[in-house]
Amino acid sequence: MATSPPQARSTSALNPPPVLSGQHPAFGDSLRRRRRSSHSSHGSHDSHGSDSSHSSHSSYAERHPDRVPQKAASPNNAFLSVVGLLALVLTYTLVGVWLFVKGFLLTRHELTGISECSKSADGYWTLPSPPATTDDEALLSWAQAALDPITGEGECRLAPTHSKAVVLIVDALRYDFIAPPPPSGSVANESGWSPNPHYHNVLTLPAELTAKHGIPAFADRPGPASFVAHFTADPPTTTLQRLKGLTTGTLPTFFEAGANFGSAGTGVGQVNEDNWIAQFKRSISSSGASNAGLVFAGDDTWSTVFPDLFDADTTWTYDSFNVEDLDTVDRGVEAKLLPFLQRDHPERKAGVHDSWRLLVGHTLGVDHVGHRFGASHAKMKVKLQEMQLLLQNITDAVDDETLVVVMGDHGMDERGDHGGDAELEIGAGLWMYSKSGFGHTGRRKDLRPDPAEYLSSPDVEAISPSRIPFTPLPSPPYPSDGHRSIPQIDLVPTLSILLGLPVPYNNLGSVVPDLFSHPHTLLRALRITATQMRTYVAAYSKHSPDLAAFQPEFDARWLDAVRADAELAHVLYAGRKKTADDVEVALRRAAQAYHRFNRVSLGRAREVWAQFDMVRIALGLAVLVLTLVCAWVVRGGAVDGLVGVLHSGGDDEKDGAQAERGGETAVKRRTETTQELYAVVWKSVSRPLLVGAVLGAGLHYTTLLPLPAVVASILQPLTLLDSMLGGATLTSQLSLLSTHLPSFLQRSPLQDTQASSVPATTTLLNTAGWLALLVHALLFTSNSFLVFEDRFVLLALTSLLFIRGVLLVGSSPNTRTKLRAGVLCVIALVCIRLAAIARVCREEQAPYCENTFFSSSSTSSGALNSPYIIAGAYVFAYLLPGLIGKFLEQSKSNVGIARVFAKWVLRPTLMTGAGVWAMDWASPLDAVQRGGWGPTLETVKQWTVKVDLVVLGVVAVAFWVFAPLCLEIRREGGEHEGQQPKVTILGYANSFGSSYVLLVGVVVGLLWVVTQPMGQLAVGLVWVAAMACVELGDAERDVVVLHRQRLASQSSPGSTTPAAAAAPPTPTRPIHLTSAEISTYALLAHLVFFSTGHQATLASIQWRLAFLTSPTLTYPLSPLLVALNSFGHLTLLPPLLTTLGVLWNATPLPRGSGRRMATPRQLLSGLMTLHVYALAVLVSTALVSGLLFRRHLMLFKVWTPRFMLASVWAVGGQMAAVAAVLAAWQTSNKVNRIFGSEFA
């Protein structure tokens, strides 16, 4: 019987086929049995009996020991070595990121002091007599005796204007949702502006009451008063951080945003500082009341912030993260709070709803509508109308003793997102209302009535402007001087003083002057606030050297305020010499001076609020930089080997046998296998790891000894764990580099002889790849370039592919391969350009960016998925497996299990993932809701996602692990008597790649289901582009093979026989993936990150993915879905594509070939190149943010989120690389069992 070699893409030396003869055992005994049975299809009884008698392999081996091949060596050691080296670099990276983050993203130092005020409010308090002299010492002594409430006669509280308060937080209530309409007579169309019908002039009660009552500055008797203002939130604009600011008056830090996802009982996010609610509770308790009367209903974040503050029997919390639920929390707030206010409410119970002092409600409907549908949606109008009715019920029911405060904790952009510091995210709204006003007014009518202008001065306006423009309400038609604006933390001292409480200890806000119209009352309130703030700033400066640097400025501003106060005292005690104008001028100067001190303190605190631990920052940076160099050295070891003392032989197993006989010899040479490389690296780091850990522990305990101040300042901030990790890591890294870096930098004779074996195109490709990496890393030194990183990625990727295409077309040997290279390049470029259409803009990109990720960038549907895009994603889900199959057909490997997997696993799961978003789009439709199908459709959607995730994450992965290779054996011919059948093996040349691409399909399927429809199209296009790039990489390696064959033929001119001409060249080093190919995969991952609706900002995180499988927040699935959506494309795809590039068309070496495949070395070099890319980006962002720009205005807005993204990519990508190698190991085991291939 004649046999033919396995069919591959070609039969050239680029794909050497195995010889399937009787001696070749690649397919074992089964193939020989098939061949015997086919040969004896008409055989006799004797033939059949002979075949049966020798069916046992063991009996065959006993009779023919020379014909039974030795068992192929297992690939386990080779791949274990790769995993070990990857794990070493991963450990280094984790330690470096850990140390740097602990120094860079510190939370501020919390002072647990409490404002004590034993004095009762004195309604007749007057300024004490002035000092005899006005020198600095006398003024400070006078201030301590006359103004300080602890050491002197000063005030710490005012008489309350209200005994009760209703505080309603409407989550994400933006200022323009409650802003008054434009002044009558203004021309709106001059700027083309028109009110948005979904949220403008809908919640009108605040504006109506403000227009009707305002703040009567000249009223002779108390009456209704109303005040509306733009309420500026401090970023990050997440609810928990805003609640801290609204109750304590402190500023948040960027890293505290993560506490927003803590839960009650864990202590994460809990407020331990003084706050006005706690002060209110202490005030009530001190009066002897048995019940504080503090009531809460709404967002369960409050149970995290204040777990024990409100009365337990009048506290009702609701899940805050279910953005699909628009009504439950709002209905709960209304049902629980209104019985306390409305005497005729049917749920009101005597003795339960009577004695209350504070009602706090926190609704979530507006926020959830924004997250689910965007700000400009019909459901937003419905929700604001509900809030209008709720506010009407509250204002109708409250009495004269009750202060009503309605506010947004933050705003929202047009997509309903928040978390950053964009104008719409920080632009919340504030409304304060009282039927009895805010206290005695008494301002002279001939003075300027605007309190903001009364306190205004240029330096204060530069720090915190009292009027600002607001894009949704432009001028015209609104006034050109902007909208009245106050910082959110100003609410804390304002509420405290209105309720007769001391200002919280940690407060950095100033009072809202509009609510203290009487000049004397305003000055007293400012003085109390400034005195408290000075105490806090002085205490905090002892813990923060950065803030301590401003202490001379604080002292100077305080002295200015005291001097102005002393001048006022001189005027007041001047007897008949004083005039009313003199008093007014002195009052205003003193008020401005105290207000200036408050604002300067706030401004300086904002500048340095995040304290940096430079010791940890420097230590973490050192570890990360050395990790980058170590990864570079290990990569070089995988390519060219590292010098070490090794066995003289080249075969590990023979060396081991020789060592057992005691006859091995050790020589200093370069490593040739991954086992040798791992042994050399581990030998250089293992002992230093232990020594470094011991040294670190020793240095830590030396802090107990008297040390020089400089040494103590370095060692004391570090914990024992920090010292041991830093010592062990740095010592082992330095040992590795000192041992191998010198020899690594020196070119070996082997490298010199092999330099000519690489064509010039490969050198150019490597140069282009490293250049792309370098430019990407340097991009972060400029915030202008950083914010347009998505455009750089597109430019760099298309440029790199164009270069690769031109070089490949130019170096291809014939017209067919040139045409194929050009087509692959065009396919990749077209897919990339189409994928880049999907885009979400960050604030800094305006006006040069247009959002295209959702159905429209207009105000009609800011956060909805287009039904046309959903339909397109569904069709693409059907076509995508077929497109990937076309790439497999190039190597004739779209056979066997590949077709089954594509038809019955990949295509159904992709179509299910697209269908999920169709149900998501349909469920909130009015027609569906009216028919009562909405909840049912939501349930079906959630269970569909769960099934899809289980099928992909469990069933498909298990199927892939145990599935055979994508091979198919075909028999042709043999119909006529005496004609031998021809056996062909399809898929042999791409046995590795065809199996591995199925696993890539599983991962793409998982990413597909957690990506919204526009992103699904981008993911599919990028996968097609990636497959084209994989084929390009294979073609580039074919060029290297042809180049080496050409060199071999030129060096042997006498070899003219066909056998000699066809013989492969003497093996040199393996052909590794170029840096251009690796950079392409890294940039493709960045492209799909940006094209799936993400930016390096908090606001672009798609939180609604947390509820894809459940109506409530469920752990750990909800965070995993958000993480997979946000970071899965960036972390999983590069190592998978790199591994696929190594395995693609890597023809197995058959059993008995006498050679071992260099696949583990190629994997190690490719993945280490990828790690070098990720580490370079990480080091660049860490260096820029931690050293160069740590005091830059845009640090926490631009560089910190990008550093966090780089950290996730570096750490997550390295973890994914380990998993990718484990999968390649499994594939290699299959090839090893079937073909007998061995690995080095």
1201-1229 pLDDT, tens digit each: 899 999 999 999 999 999 999 999 999 99
pLDDT(1077) > 60? yes
Q: Are residues 349 and 422 in the same domain?
A: yes
438 and 320, same domain (yes or no)? yes
Window from 206-215, 284-293, 963-972 with minimum mean pLDDT: 284-293
Are 548 and 696 found together in one domain? no
Cα torsion at 158, 162, 166, 169 (round to 10°)?
Answer: -30
Query: What's the CA gap between 237 and 421, in Å, rounded?
Result: 7
Mean pLDDT, the chain, integer: 85
Give the confidence band of 23 by pLDDT, cuts at 50, 70, 90: very low
What residue type is 865 in one-letter code?
N
Give pLDDT, residue 35. 34
Confidence of residue 960 (pLDDT cuts 50, 70, 90): very high
- The contacts of residue 499 (CB under 8 Å, 6+ apart) are 160, 161, 162, 163, 165, 276, 280, 283, 403
Q: Does residue 1165 contact residue 635 with C-beta atoms inside 8 Å?
A: yes
> 663 and 557, same structural domain?
no
pLDDT at 1165: 97
> In which band, very low, low, confident or very high, does the pLDDT at 254 lie, cut at 50, 70 and 90?
low
139/145 Cα distance (integer angstroms)? 10
945-953: long-range contacts, CB 8 A cutoff, minimum separation 24: 945/916, 945/1009, 945/1108, 945/1109, 946/1109, 947/912, 948/909, 948/912, 948/913, 948/916, 948/1005, 948/1009, 949/1006, 949/1009, 949/1109, 951/905, 951/909, 952/909, 952/1002, 952/1005, 952/1006, 952/1009, 953/1002, 953/1006
Does residue 817 belong to any structural domain of this protein? no
Claim to verify: residue 593 and residue 723 sit in the same structural domain: no
Q: Are 825 and 804 in contact (CB under 8 A)?
A: yes
Q: Which of 692, 725, 755 is the last residue of a domain?
A: 755
Instruction: Look at the chain and report how many structural domains it folds into.
Output: 3
| pLDDT for res 858 | 40
Residue that has been written with the tokens 């305020």 in this structure:
561
- Write the DSSP symbol of residue 781: G
Q: Could you report the per-residue pLDDT of 268-285, keeping only the tens digit for each?
A: 568 889 999 999 999 988
CA distances in angstroms from 62 to 35, 230, 1233, listed in the order given: 22, 92, 22
Per-residue pLDDT band at 884 (split at 50, 70, 90):
very high
Least confident segment among 392-401, 582-591, 749-758, 1015-1024: 749-758
Q: Which of 162-171, 303-312, 855-864, 1011-1020 has the lowest mean pLDDT?
A: 855-864
| Among the listed residues 760, 772, 767, 837, the one whose alpha carbon sits nearest the alpha carbon of residue 799 | 772
pLDDT of residue 568: 93
609 closest CA partner among 10, 1202, 1190: 1190
| Amino acid letter for position 392 | Q
Q: Cα(1007)–Cα(1128) distance, rounded to whole angstroms? A: 7
Instruction: Tally Cβ neighbours within 10 Å of residue 885.
Output: 17
What whole-number percentage of the chain has pLDDT above 90? Answer: 55
Instruction: Examine the domain organization and report whether 592 and 641 are in the same domain.
Output: no
Same domain, 635 and 542: no
Q: How far apart are CA 687 and CA 676, in angstroms?
A: 18
Residue 10 pLDDT level (bands cut at 50, 70, 90): very low
**One domain for residues 83 and 149:** no
* pLDDT for the residue numbered 15: 44
pLDDT exceeding 70 applies to what percent of the chain?
Answer: 85
Give CA–CA dist 989/992, Å, rounded: 8
Q: Given this model, what pLDDT does residue 1193 score? A: 66
SS3 letters for 540-588? HHCCCHHHHCCHHHHHHHHHHHHHHHHHHHHHHCCHHHCCHHHHHHHHH
Give 1006: exposed, middle or buried? Use CB within 10 Å, 0-12, 13-18, 19+.
buried
| 1121-1154 residue pLDDT tens | 999 999 999 999 999 999 999 999 999 998 878 8
Residue 299 pLDDT level (bands cut at 50, 70, 90): very high
How far apart CA 725 and CA 697 sit, in angstroms, is 9
84 part of a folded domain: yes
Q: What is the pLDDT of residues 841-880, one digit of tens each?
A: 988 888 888 889 987 544 344 567 889 999 999 999 999 9
491-541 tens-digit pLDDT = 999 999 999 999 999 999 999 999 987 888 999 999 999 999 999 999 988
225-232/483-487 β-pairing = parallel
Tokens of 483: 């909208």
Any domain includes 1056 = no
pLDDT band at 2 (very low <50, low <70, confident <90, very high): very low
Boundary of a domain, candidates 560, 582, 609: 609
The answer to whether position 980 is within a domain reads: no
Q: Could you write out the DSSP letters of every residue in 96-138?
A: HHHHHHHHHSPPPPPP-------SPP-TT--PPPPPS--SHHH
> Is residue 22 in a domain?
no
pLDDT bin (cut points 50, 70, 90) of residue 38 is very low
User: Once rounded to an integer, what is the mean pLDDT over residues 1167-1174?
Assistant: 97
Q: What is the mean pLDDT of residues 653-657?
A: 46
Q: What is the pLDDT of residue 976?
A: 62
Residues 535 and 683 in one domain: no
1183 closest CA partner among 859, 907, 777:
777
Q: Is residue 495 part of a domain?
A: yes
1000 and 1007 Cβ atoms separated by less than 8 Å: no
Which residue's structure tokens are 């930098």? Answer: 745
**pLDDT grade for 610, boundaries at 50, 70 and 90:** low
Q: Is 609 left (phi over 0), alpha (psi -120 to 50) or beta?
A: alpha
Query: For residue 403, is pLDDT > 90?
Result: yes
Confidence of residue 17 (pLDDT cuts 50, 70, 90): very low
Q: Does residue 539 sit in the same domain as residue 499?
A: yes
pLDDT tens, residue by residue, 439-467: 765 555 555 557 888 888 898 998 899 99
**Are 394 and 520 found together in one domain?**
yes
Amino acid found at 1072:
H
Same domain? For 602 and 697 the reply is no
CATH number at residue 411: 3.40.720.10
Domain final residue pick, 609, 643, 672: 609
Answer whether residue 631 is part of any domain. Answer: yes
Q: Are 450 and 224 in contact (CB under 8 A)?
A: no
Residue labelled with tokens 């020379």: 66
* Residue 1227, pLDDT score: 97
Is the confidence at residue 770, as pLDDT, over 50? Answer: yes
Question: Within a domain: residue 464?
Answer: yes
Q: Which domain holds residue 732?
A: 79-89+98-105+627-755
The total number of residues written for the chain in this structure: 1240
| Across 1072-1078, average pLDDT | 96
